[in-house]
A = this chain, B = another copy of it.
Amino acid sequence: MKKVFNPDKASWNELLKRPTQTVAAIETVVNEIFTEVKLKGDQAVSRYTQLFDGTTPENALVSEEEISQAVKSVSPELKEAIELAKSNITTFHTAQKTKRVSVETTNGVMCWQEKRPIQKVGLYIPGGSAPLFSTILMLAVPANIAGCKEIVLCTPPDKEGKINPAILYTANLCGVTKIYKIGGIQAIAAMTFGTESVSSVYKIFGPGNQYVTVAKQLATKYNVAIDMPAGPSELLVYADDTAMPSFVASDLLSQAEHGPDSQVILVSISEKIINEIEKEIEAQLDKLPRKDIAIQAIANSKLILVHTEEEALEMINAYGPEHFIVISEHEDYFVENIQNAGSVFIGNYTPESAGDYASGTNHTLPTNGYAKQYSGVNLGSFLKSMTFQKISEKGIQNIGPAIETMADAEGLQAHKNAVSIRLKSLQ
């Protein structure tokens, strides 16, 4: 672990740098697969599933029977846990509903704003060692609350052509319309262009490896929106002497086990707590099954001592962490003044894991400094805002002359004329 004491502000940029990825090589592959899927549809998807996943399911669409078998095979304990998480996520995201915003801006000029659901959304859930059913909760629950009509889910099959039962159980529980055994680039391409069996969607959500990330970027060139650009997961903890070192160490390690490129940063004004947390990390690290991964992430992690809380805050805002844990006797200062963070975890008993699974907040959050300008996934991610206006005869008489003047000054006579012709009819 790198300990950095009172770094000069000029060095912050370098100090807070994220691992960069080169994607140029990937782009060629992604482009090729997109072209193939666009041209050949299901046939191309099937070929890539064989190539990348080593299997060719007879039917990419998961059947009712497969779902009911999965429902049976998930343990009651896990079902109960998932239901509790679903309940909290539902509560928090339902509270985010907004009412129509309606204003008479000038006498006779009614304007309003309404949010309406994106009709067709696609969710991507990666395969691999960990079946990320928790991400289904985070995406399908708000999609349903928003009122999206079609919720398509793609996830890669294992070598036997199967999907993990917890994934199927959760997708079914959360009202996913259709589940497809399709992974990687070909899944993103299928949801972008549509195939004989997969319908195209308007917006694609969900995490994935570099290939999926580049595929989602490419999808935006074909009239599809995405939730946000992706990068390796990251955690920044601010801790003072009120923090329990063993708790903080466990949080830093929970982040580190995500992948060797995970980002883990501790900022403090207390040298004492830094040293205590460092010792705790070493003690806990040894017992982890994913130790090999965590060690690599921890090797890149930074324990940073700064002079003051103000300096700490400035550094945290400059970094813009995806996850920000603050354990401080002055927690209010940080909570009120943090400008750039995806999700904030406050106090000794609020581990990041809580937000990852069950507190109710969303775990799909901006990484890579994108917290400076992107929201994490929330109810609004599945809605779009539309405006309406209705102007009365009186209303157009009130604002018409101003419109004529402005249109004239912009040299747009037909814009002016659309008002003049109405004003004349009212004379």
Q: A413-B290, A419-B354 are in contact. Are A373 and B118 (CB under 8 A)?
A: yes
User: Is the beta-carbon distance between B257 and A413 smaller than 8 angstroms?
Assistant: yes
- Inter-chain CA distance A106–B217, complex, in Å, is 37
User: Is the beta-carbon distance between B409 and A166 smaller than 8 angstroms?
Assistant: yes
Majority DSSP secondary structure for residues of A touching B = mixed
Q: A251-B418, A388-B343, A425-B244 are in contact. Are A407 and B103 (CB under 8 A)?
A: no
User: Is the beta-carbon distance between B347 and A390 smaller than 8 angstroms?
Assistant: yes
Q: A111-B361, A254-B415, A349-B392 are in contact. Are A116 and B401 (CB under 8 A)?
A: no
User: How many of chain A's residues touch chain B, expressed as a range?
Assistant: 35 or more
Residues of B within 8 A of A82 (CB): 406
- Identify which of A77, A352, A402 gathers the most chain B CB atoms within 10 Å of its CB: A402
* Closest chain B CB from A9 CB (angstroms): 16
User: Is the beta-carbon distance between A342 and B417 smaller than 8 angstroms?
Assistant: no
Q: A343-B389, A372-B118, A374-B225 are in contact. Are A403 and B358 (CB under 8 A)?
A: yes
> Which residues 342-384 of A have a CB within 8 angstroms of B?
342-362, 366, 368-376, 378, 380, 384
Residues of B within 8 A of A106 (CB): 84, 88, 359-360
* Closest chain B CB from A422 CB (angstroms): 6
* Closest chain B CB from A202 CB (angstroms): 4
* Any B CB within 8 A of the CB of A6: no
Which of B250, B405, B406, B418 sits near A250, CB closer than 8 Å? B418
* Any B CB within 8 A of the CB of A223: yes
User: Is the beta-carbon distance between B289 and A246 smaller than 8 angstroms?
Assistant: no
* Any B CB within 8 A of the CB of A109: yes
Residues of A participating in the B interface, judged by any CB pair closer than 8 Å: 77-78, 80-82, 84-85, 87-88, 91-92, 95-96, 98, 101-103, 105-106, 109, 111, 113, 116-119, 129-134, 166, 202-203, 217, 220-221, 223-225, 229, 244, 246-247, 250-251, 253-254, 256-257, 284, 288-290, 294, 335, 338-362, 366, 368-376, 378, 380, 384-393, 395-396, 399, 401-403, 405-407, 409-419, 421-422, 425
Give 28 pairs: A residue, B residue, CB < 8 Å, sorted on A: A78-B405, A78-B409, A81-B402, A81-B406, A85-B402, A85-B406, A92-B111, A109-B360, A119-B340, A129-B411, A130-B412, A133-B406, A247-B422, A250-B418, A254-B412, A254-B414, A257-B415, A290-B411, A290-B412, A335-B388, A354-B391, A354-B399, A357-B406, A360-B389, A361-B387, A372-B384, A375-B386, A376-B386
Besides A80-B402, A351-B419, 18 more A-B contacts (Cβ < 8 Å) are A81-B402, A88-B106, A92-B101, A103-B360, A113-B378, A131-B409, A225-B370, A247-B425, A254-B417, A257-B415, A288-B414, A343-B387, A346-B390, A348-B422, A354-B389, A354-B396, A354-B399, A357-B406
